[in-house]
Every structure is written in C-alpha cells, then in structure tokens.
Amino acid sequence: MTVASQVKQTMASLKGTQSTLQSMAEIEQNEDTKELFNSSTARLDGIIKKIEDRVRELEYQEPQYKGF
C-alpha cells in the first residue's frame, strides 16, 4: 500500500467516525453531552481539512496514485 492510500484510508476513517458522532449528537438529549459531541465534530473538521490538503499534496507529487 502506498503512503497516499494509507493516508486516504485514515482520512476516510476520520470522516466516518465524525458522522457517527454527529448522528449521536442529534439524538442525545443531555445538553452537556450534546455540546461535547458537537465540539468534537467541529475539531475533527479541522483535522480532516488538514489531512485533505496533505492528500492533495501527495497526489500532486505522485500523480500515478491519484484517485482511489
């Protein structure tokens, strides 16, 4: 597995977990816990943005591994 595909896999896992947390936040009744879920997803957003940029860089360097 190339580095690019590994990084992409991590990115996909992060996105998946983020959406799981989002769906839990929707159902959660307790305001504090809901807030916690929401802030976590917001922070994950930032992390995902950065890794997306990195994936773009990697694809630029190794265009033969572009796409999935």
Partner 1 sequence: MPEWLNILLWSIGLFALTLLLVRLLGKKQASQLTLFDMETVIIVGVLVAGISVKLIPAPLGLVALAVWTILPITLSFLSLKYKSVKDVVQGKESVLINHGKVMEDKLMEARLTSEDLLSRLRQKNVFQVADVEFAMLEPNGDVSVHLKKDKQPLDAKTMGVNVARHSVPQTVMMDGVVMDEPLTAMGLNRDWLHTELSKVGVDPENVFIGQVDSTGQLYLDLFDDAVQVPKPKAKELAYYTLKKCHADYETYALSTQNQKAKEMYAQSAFELKEIINELEPVLIK
- Would you count residue 40 as binding partner 1 (CB under 8 A)? yes
3-state secondary structure of 15: helix
Q: Which residue among 5, 20, 62, 66 contacts partner 1 (CB under 8 A)?
A: 20
C-beta separation of 4 from 52 below 8 A: no
C-beta separation of 68 from 8 below 8 A: yes
Q: Which residue among 2, 5, 17, 45 contacts partner 1 (CB under 8 A)?
A: 17
Phi-psi region of 28 (alpha: psi -120 to 50; beta: other; left: phi over 0): beta
User: Where on the chain is the footprint of partner 1 (CB under 8 A)?
Assistant: 3, 6-7, 10, 13-14, 16-17, 20-21, 23-24, 26-30, 32-33, 36-37, 39-40, 43-44, 46-47, 50-51, 54, 57
